[in-house]
Protein backbone atom coordinates (compact mmCIF):
# COMPACT_ATOMS: atom_id res chain seq x y z
CA UNK A 1 0.00 0.00 0.00
CA UNK A 2 2.82 2.40 0.89
CA UNK A 3 4.81 1.30 -2.17
CA UNK A 4 1.83 2.01 -4.44
CA UNK A 5 1.52 5.47 -2.93
CA UNK A 6 5.23 6.17 -3.45
CA UNK A 7 5.09 5.04 -7.08
CA UNK A 8 2.11 7.27 -7.82
CA UNK A 9 3.55 10.33 -6.11
CA UNK A 10 7.25 9.91 -6.98
CA UNK A 11 7.31 12.34 -9.84
CA UNK A 12 5.08 14.85 -8.09
CA UNK A 13 7.19 14.84 -4.93
CA UNK A 14 10.48 15.13 -6.79
CA UNK A 15 9.08 18.05 -8.67
CA UNK A 16 8.28 19.91 -5.47
CA UNK A 17 11.08 18.90 -3.07
CA UNK A 18 14.64 17.93 -3.78
CA UNK A 19 15.17 15.39 -0.97
CA UNK A 20 18.87 15.04 -1.69
CA UNK A 21 19.39 18.61 -0.44
CA UNK A 22 17.17 18.24 2.64
CA UNK A 23 19.63 16.26 4.78
CA UNK A 24 17.91 17.24 8.02
CA UNK A 25 15.00 15.01 7.07
CA UNK A 26 17.09 11.96 7.93
CA UNK A 27 17.98 13.15 11.45
CA UNK A 28 15.92 12.84 14.62
CA UNK A 29 15.55 16.23 16.30
CA UNK A 30 13.15 15.71 19.19
CA UNK A 31 14.99 13.44 21.65
CA UNK A 32 15.50 13.26 25.39
CA UNK A 33 19.03 14.58 24.85
CA UNK A 34 17.95 17.69 22.95
CA UNK A 35 14.75 18.73 24.72
CA UNK A 36 15.10 21.63 27.14
CA UNK A 37 14.69 20.82 30.82
CA UNK A 38 15.37 17.09 30.53
CA UNK A 39 18.24 15.89 32.68
CA UNK A 40 19.68 12.46 33.33
CA UNK A 41 22.61 11.73 35.64
CA UNK A 42 25.57 10.05 33.87
CA UNK A 43 23.21 9.16 31.05
CA UNK A 44 20.93 7.13 33.33
CA UNK A 45 17.23 7.59 32.69
CA UNK A 46 15.44 7.43 36.06
CA UNK A 47 12.28 5.36 36.23
CA UNK A 48 9.58 7.96 35.48
CA UNK A 49 6.94 6.17 37.54
CA UNK A 50 5.09 9.04 39.29
CA UNK A 51 4.30 7.10 42.46
CA UNK A 52 7.89 5.94 42.98
CA UNK A 53 9.22 9.45 42.34
CA UNK A 54 6.85 11.09 44.83
CA UNK A 55 7.51 8.42 47.45
CA UNK A 56 11.27 8.69 46.93
CA UNK A 57 11.52 4.91 46.52
CA UNK A 58 12.91 2.54 43.92
CA UNK A 59 11.13 -0.39 42.35
CA UNK A 60 12.16 -2.77 45.15
CA UNK A 61 9.49 -1.23 47.42
CA UNK A 62 6.80 -2.68 45.16
CA UNK A 63 7.80 -6.21 46.16
CA UNK A 64 6.69 -5.52 49.73
CA UNK A 65 3.17 -4.89 48.44
CA UNK A 66 2.85 -8.58 47.63
CA UNK A 67 2.83 -9.25 51.39
CA UNK A 68 -0.45 -7.36 51.76
CA UNK A 69 -3.27 -9.88 51.96
CA UNK A 70 -5.47 -8.24 49.31
CA UNK A 71 -2.71 -7.45 46.84
CA UNK A 72 -1.01 -10.82 47.33
CA UNK A 73 -4.21 -12.82 46.89
CA UNK A 74 -5.10 -10.82 43.77
CA UNK A 75 -1.70 -11.58 42.24
CA UNK A 76 -1.95 -15.27 43.08
CA UNK A 77 -5.43 -15.56 41.58
CA UNK A 78 -4.34 -13.76 38.43
CA UNK A 79 -1.32 -16.00 37.94
CA UNK A 80 -3.15 -19.19 38.86
CA UNK A 81 -5.46 -18.86 35.87
CA UNK A 82 -2.49 -19.00 33.50
CA UNK A 83 -0.24 -21.38 35.42
CA UNK A 84 -3.03 -23.93 35.76
CA UNK A 85 -3.24 -24.25 31.96
CA UNK A 86 -1.36 -27.00 30.19
CA UNK A 87 1.04 -26.36 27.33
CA UNK A 88 1.83 -28.49 24.31
CA UNK A 89 4.43 -28.31 21.54
CA UNK A 90 3.09 -29.24 18.09
CA UNK A 91 5.29 -30.56 15.33
CA UNK A 92 3.25 -29.27 12.37
CA UNK A 93 5.51 -29.07 9.28
CA UNK A 94 8.90 -29.22 11.05
CA UNK A 95 11.11 -32.22 10.53
CA UNK A 96 11.27 -34.81 13.28
CA UNK A 97 14.92 -34.11 14.17
CA UNK A 98 14.32 -30.45 15.01
CA UNK A 99 11.03 -31.18 16.74
CA UNK A 100 12.74 -33.64 19.08
CA UNK A 101 15.38 -31.01 19.89
CA UNK A 102 12.82 -28.32 20.70
CA UNK A 103 10.73 -30.80 22.66
CA UNK A 104 13.81 -31.72 24.70
CA UNK A 105 14.60 -28.04 25.39
CA UNK A 106 11.12 -27.16 26.62
CA UNK A 107 10.80 -30.26 28.75
CA UNK A 108 14.15 -29.69 30.47
CA UNK A 109 13.68 -26.07 31.46
CA UNK A 110 11.28 -25.00 34.20
CA UNK A 111 8.67 -23.65 31.83
CA UNK A 112 6.13 -22.80 34.56
CA UNK A 113 8.75 -20.83 36.49
CA UNK A 114 9.50 -18.90 33.31
CA UNK A 115 5.80 -18.19 32.75
CA UNK A 116 5.44 -17.12 36.38
CA UNK A 117 8.33 -14.66 35.98
CA UNK A 118 6.91 -13.26 32.75
CA UNK A 119 3.56 -12.73 34.50
CA UNK A 120 5.38 -10.31 36.82
CA UNK A 121 5.84 -7.95 33.87
CA UNK A 122 2.55 -6.03 34.30
CA UNK A 123 3.20 -5.81 38.05
CA UNK A 124 6.66 -4.20 37.81
CA UNK A 125 6.71 -2.86 34.25
CA UNK A 126 9.63 -5.00 33.12
CA UNK A 127 11.39 -8.24 34.08
CA UNK A 128 15.01 -8.90 33.02
CA UNK A 129 15.46 -12.63 32.38
CA UNK A 130 18.97 -14.01 31.93
CA UNK A 131 19.49 -17.09 29.76
CA UNK A 132 22.10 -19.63 30.83
CA UNK A 133 23.23 -21.74 27.89
CA UNK A 134 24.82 -25.17 27.66
CA UNK A 135 26.41 -27.16 24.85
CA UNK A 136 25.06 -30.61 24.12
CA UNK A 137 26.70 -32.30 21.17
CA UNK A 138 26.56 -29.96 18.19
CA UNK A 139 23.88 -27.76 19.72
CA UNK A 140 23.95 -24.85 22.16
CA UNK A 141 20.64 -24.79 24.00
CA UNK A 142 19.20 -22.86 26.98
CA UNK A 143 19.74 -24.64 30.28
CA UNK A 144 17.72 -22.29 32.50
CA UNK A 145 16.14 -18.84 32.43
CA UNK A 146 16.36 -16.79 35.61
CA UNK A 147 14.56 -13.53 36.41
CA UNK A 148 16.88 -10.92 37.93
CA UNK A 149 16.02 -7.93 40.21
CA UNK A 150 14.95 -4.86 38.26
CA UNK A 151 17.08 -2.49 40.36
CA UNK A 152 20.22 -4.14 38.96
CA UNK A 153 19.47 -2.60 35.56
CA UNK A 154 18.61 0.74 34.00
CA UNK A 155 17.87 2.44 30.69
CA UNK A 156 19.71 5.41 29.28
CA UNK A 157 18.23 8.39 27.46
CA UNK A 158 18.41 6.50 24.14
CA UNK A 159 16.42 3.58 25.52
CA UNK A 160 19.44 1.28 25.69
CA UNK A 161 19.44 -1.31 28.48
CA UNK A 162 22.35 -1.58 30.93
CA UNK A 163 23.42 -3.87 33.76
CA UNK A 164 25.08 -2.19 36.76
CA UNK A 165 28.26 -4.22 36.43
CA UNK A 166 30.81 -3.18 39.06
CA UNK A 167 33.60 -4.54 36.87
CA UNK A 168 32.69 -2.13 34.08
CA UNK A 169 32.01 1.05 36.01
CA UNK A 170 28.37 0.24 36.66
CA UNK A 171 27.32 0.29 33.02
CA UNK A 172 27.40 -2.82 30.86
CA UNK A 173 25.34 -2.49 27.70
CA UNK A 174 23.08 -5.46 27.08
CA UNK A 175 23.02 -6.43 23.42
CA UNK A 176 19.85 -8.40 22.81
CA UNK A 177 21.34 -9.79 19.60
CA UNK A 178 23.69 -11.78 21.85
CA UNK A 179 20.71 -13.87 23.05
CA UNK A 180 21.77 -13.47 26.68
CA UNK A 181 18.70 -11.66 28.03
CA UNK A 182 14.97 -11.52 27.52
CA UNK A 183 13.15 -8.33 28.51
CA UNK A 184 9.36 -8.57 28.59
CA UNK A 185 7.85 -5.10 29.22
CA UNK A 186 4.36 -3.79 29.88
CA UNK A 187 3.34 -0.95 27.55
CA UNK A 188 6.77 0.75 27.24
CA UNK A 189 6.95 4.12 25.51
CA UNK A 190 9.59 6.54 24.26
CA UNK A 191 9.48 8.53 27.50
CA UNK A 192 9.10 5.43 29.69
CA UNK A 193 11.13 2.45 28.44
CA UNK A 194 10.70 0.85 31.88
CA UNK A 195 7.07 0.05 31.16
CA UNK A 196 4.02 0.64 33.34
CA UNK A 197 3.97 -1.03 36.77
CA UNK A 198 0.41 -1.61 37.94
CA UNK A 199 1.63 -2.35 41.48
CA UNK A 200 2.55 1.32 41.85
CA UNK A 201 -1.19 2.09 41.74
CA UNK A 202 -1.59 0.03 44.91
CA UNK A 203 1.28 1.69 46.80
CA UNK A 204 -0.51 4.57 48.55
CA UNK A 205 -3.61 2.48 49.23
CA UNK A 206 -1.52 -0.12 51.06
CA UNK A 207 0.40 2.59 52.92
CA UNK A 208 -2.82 4.20 54.12
CA UNK A 209 -4.34 0.84 55.08
CA UNK A 210 -1.26 -0.19 57.07
CA UNK A 211 -0.95 3.25 58.66
CA UNK A 212 -4.64 3.31 59.56
CA UNK A 213 -4.44 -0.16 61.05
CA UNK A 214 -1.42 0.79 63.15
CA UNK A 215 -3.19 3.93 64.37
CA UNK A 216 -6.36 1.97 65.16
CA UNK A 217 -4.45 -0.63 67.19
CA UNK A 218 -2.79 2.09 69.25
CA UNK A 219 -6.08 3.94 69.63
CA UNK A 220 -7.98 0.89 70.91
CA UNK A 221 -5.08 -0.01 73.17
CA UNK A 222 -4.98 3.46 74.65
CA UNK A 223 -8.71 4.05 75.09
CA UNK A 224 -9.98 0.50 75.17
CA UNK A 225 -8.27 -0.45 78.44
CA UNK A 226 -7.73 1.34 81.78
CA UNK A 227 -5.04 4.00 81.87
CA UNK A 228 -2.47 2.77 84.40
CA UNK A 229 -1.10 5.15 87.03
CA UNK A 230 1.71 4.42 89.42
CA UNK A 231 2.08 6.50 92.57
CA UNK A 232 5.46 7.24 94.13
CA UNK A 233 6.52 9.19 97.20
CA UNK A 234 8.84 12.18 97.33
CA UNK A 235 11.81 10.09 98.43
CA UNK A 236 12.20 8.41 95.00
CA UNK A 237 14.99 9.68 92.78
CA UNK A 238 14.51 10.61 89.10
CA UNK A 239 16.19 7.38 88.06
CA UNK A 240 13.81 5.34 90.20
CA UNK A 241 10.84 7.24 88.76
CA UNK A 242 12.01 6.47 85.21
CA UNK A 243 12.45 2.79 86.04
CA UNK A 244 9.00 2.79 87.61
CA UNK A 245 7.47 4.31 84.47
CA UNK A 246 9.31 1.87 82.19
CA UNK A 247 7.94 -1.02 84.24
CA UNK A 248 4.39 0.25 83.71
CA UNK A 249 4.99 0.83 80.00
CA UNK A 250 6.21 -2.73 79.64
CA UNK A 251 2.92 -3.84 81.16
CA UNK A 252 0.51 -1.85 78.96
CA UNK A 253 2.81 -0.16 76.41
CA UNK A 254 1.89 3.53 75.95
CA UNK A 255 -1.09 3.85 78.30
CA UNK A 256 0.85 4.57 81.51
CA UNK A 257 1.97 7.48 83.69
CA UNK A 258 3.54 8.11 87.11
CA UNK A 259 2.38 10.89 89.45
The predicted pLDDT at position 3 comes to 59
Q: What is the pLDDT of residues 56-74, one digit of tens each?
A: 777 878 888 888 878 888 8
| pLDDT higher than 70, residue 252 | no
Cβ–Cβ under 8 Å, residues 255 and 229: no
The predicted pLDDT at position 89 comes to 87
Q: Which DSSP string do the residues of 110-134 spell out, in sequence order?
A: -HHHHHHHHTTHHHHSB--EEEEEE
Name every residue whose Cβ is closer than 8 Å to that of residue 19 and which is 6 or more positions away in sequence: 13, 25
Sign for the pseudo-dihedral over CA of 177, 178, 184, 190 = negative
| pLDDT higher than 90, residue 126 | yes
Edge to edge, what strands does the sheet with 139-147 contain?
139-147, 129-136, 181-182
- Percent of the chain beyond pLDDT 90? 19
Average pLDDT over residues 101-127: 91
The predicted pLDDT at position 181 comes to 93
The predicted pLDDT at position 18 comes to 57
- Percent of the chain beyond pLDDT 70? 79
Q: Does the global pTM surpass 0.75?
A: no
146 three-state secondary structure? strand
| pLDDT higher than 70, residue 75 | yes
Type and span of the H or E element at 97: helix 96-108
111-118 and 69-83 helices, crossing angle to 10°: 130
Average pLDDT over residues 10-33: 57
| pLDDT higher than 60, residue 38 | no
Q: What is the pLDDT of residues 197-251, one digit of tens each?
A: 888 888 777 777 777 777 777 777 777 766 677 888 888 888 888 888 888 777 7
Amino acid sequence: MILDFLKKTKNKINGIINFSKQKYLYDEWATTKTVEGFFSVIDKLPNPDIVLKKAGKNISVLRNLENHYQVGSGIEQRKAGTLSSEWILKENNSDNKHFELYDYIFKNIDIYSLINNILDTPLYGYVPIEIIWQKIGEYIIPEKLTAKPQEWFYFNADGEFFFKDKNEGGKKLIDFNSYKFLLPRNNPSYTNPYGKAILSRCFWNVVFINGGMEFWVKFTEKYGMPFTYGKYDRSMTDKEKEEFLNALVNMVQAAAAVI
